[in-house]
Amino acid sequence: MSAIADNIKVIDQRIRVAAERAGRDRSDIVLISVSKAILPGDVEAALAAGQPIFGESKVQEAKAKIPVVSSRARWHLIGHLQTNKARDAVALFEVIHSVDSLKLADELNKWSERAGKTQAILLEANVSGEASKFGLKPEDLESTLKAINQLPRLEVRGLMTVAPYTKEAAEARPYFRRLRELRDALGLRDLSMGMSHDFEVAIEEGATLVRIGTAIFGERKRREPSE
């Protein structure tokens, strides 16, 4: 068994334990293996270990990688998306986690219409208020959701956030709890939150999608703030 397969097995067990601690079912939580800067061969190793869903941060990298990986892989975009990359994003990704403006949603709807596709999306919320992070302000979520719900080719499934990196995982709990409260108030389903160092806390607070890269594939040269 490869190191990647071993890591996936460990992560799966940690997800299971965190879910049980929160009184939840393991089946309610989707693991997204963050494959930014990961070679196709390592993606194939994760696939062989039973991990089918991968998260990419950059459209350009994904555009080169996806065609050379087995078609069994499923792809989510978890990084910031510029409107001029919307066409490629619609073509490449099953779910786009990082919709942070009505302008971007309009562009995604346009290309989804042309592709004859209904595009699943999440609205990115900046619950920490950090100027360095993308995302809608919490107070703008409701009006943005109402506007996007008028776009026939987009399906809003939930919310996503990138919590501040904290020394202790538990310190991220207020941000995850806030996102859950926002999700509940909007009547949505999914919560994309939690990364390698804090995903167990995110699960305790209701995460349905966790984005884990380093704990599966190992350290990379430069750590990305979306995993």
Domain boundaries, the chain: 3-217
Q: pLDDT value at position 223?
A: 43
**How confident is the model over 210-221, as a mean pLDDT?**
90
**How confident is the model over 71-75, as a mean pLDDT?**
98
pLDDT digits (tens, 9 = 90+) for 75-111: 999 999 999 999 999 999 999 999 999 999 999 999 9
Residues 6+ apart with CB under 8 A from 45: 2, 4, 5
Tell whether the model's pLDDT for residue 150 goes beyond 70: yes
Burial 12-51 (b: 16+ CB within 10 A, else e): bebbbebbeebebeeeebbbbbbbbbbebebbbbbbebeb
The torsion angles phi and psi of 207, rounded to 5 degrees, stand at -55, 135
In angstroms, rounded to a whole number, what is the distance separating the alpha carbons of residues 36 and 42?
Answer: 11
Q: pLDDT value at position 225?
A: 46
Task: Tell me if 227 sits within 8 A of 36, measured CB to CB.
Answer: yes
Report DSSP state, residue 90: H
Alpha helices (H) along the chain = 3-21, 40-48, 59-65, 86-92, 102-115, 141-148, 173-186, 199-204, 214-217
Average pLDDT score, the chain: 95
pLDDT digits (tens, 9 = 90+) for 32-61: 999 999 999 999 999 999 999 999 999 999
**How confident is the model over 57-75, as a mean pLDDT?**
98
In angstroms, rounded to a whole number, what is the distance separating the alpha carbons of residues 212 and 37?
Answer: 13
pLDDT digits (tens, 9 = 90+) for 178-203: 999 999 999 999 999 999 999 999 99
% pLDDT > 90, the chain = 94
Q: Report the relative pairing of strands 53-56 and 209-212 from DSSP bridges.
A: unpaired
Task: Tell me if 33 sits within 8 A of 53, measured CB to CB.
Answer: yes
3-217: CATH architecture: Alpha-Beta Barrel (3.20)
Task: Tell me if 175 sits within 8 A of 161, measured CB to CB.
Answer: yes
Report DSSP state, residue 169: G
At residue 219 the predicted structure's pLDDT band, cuts being 50, 70 and 90, is confident
**How confident is the model over 112-138, as a mean pLDDT?**
97
Beta bridge partners, 155, equal 120
At residue 166 the predicted structure's pLDDT band, cuts being 50, 70 and 90, is confident
% pLDDT > 70, the chain = 96
Q: pLDDT value at position 222?
A: 44
Nearest-5° angle of CA 191, CA 131, CA 179?
Answer: 20
